[in-house]
C-alpha cells in the first residue's frame, strides 16, 4: 500500500514540476469524465447502488422481525372478565372479603 501511495505522490509531484505527460493525463481524464458514456456509467452505478441498499434493508428488516419473534415471550392469556377483578360479582356488587 505504501508503494502505491509513493508512486502516486511521485507522479503528482513530477507532474506539478512541468511534465507535459501529466498535463496530457489531466486533459484526457477531463475528456473522459465529460463524455456521455462516463455519465451513463455513473448513472448505472448509482442505480445499482440504490437497488443493492434497498434489497439489503429489506433483508435486514426480515431478519430483525424473525429475531424479534424469538425474543418475545409467549402471548399472555386473555384477561378475565371485567367483573372478576377486585373481588366483584357479575352483578357489580363486591364479593366477600
**For 24-35, what is each residue's pLDDT tens digit?**
888 888 888 899
* pTM beyond 0.75, yes or no: no
CB 83 within 8 A of CB 89: yes
Q: With a cut of 70, list the residues of the chain below it in pLDDT.
A: 1, 14-19, 73, 76-97
Position 79 scores a pLDDT of: 62
Position 18 scores a pLDDT of: 60
Position 97 scores a pLDDT of: 47
| Matching residue, cell 473522459 | 32
Which residues have a Cβ under 8 Å from the Cβ of 77 and sit 6 or more positions away? Answer: none
Longest CA–CA span in the chain (Å) reads 104
Position 26 scores a pLDDT of: 82
Position 68 scores a pLDDT of: 75
DSSP 63-89: HHHHHHHHHSPPPPPPPPPGGGGGGB-
Amino acid at each position: 500500500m505504501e508503494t502505491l501511495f509513493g508512486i502516486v505522490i511521485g507522479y503528482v509531484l513530477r507532474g506539478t514540476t512541468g511534465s507535459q505527460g501529466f498535463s496530457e493525463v489531466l486533459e484526457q481524464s477531463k475528456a473522459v469524465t465529460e463524455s456521455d458514456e462516463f455519465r451513463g456509467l455513473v448513472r448505472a452505478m448509482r442505480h445499482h447502488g440504490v437497488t443493492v441498499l434497498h434489497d439489503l434493508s429489506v433483508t435486514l428488516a426480515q431478519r430483525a422481525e424473525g429475531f424479534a419473534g424469538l425474543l418475545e415471550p409467549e402471548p399472555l392469556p386473555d384477561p378475565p372478565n371485567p367483573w372478576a377483578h377486585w373481588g366483584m360479582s357479575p352483578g357489580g356488587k363486591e364479593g366477600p372479603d
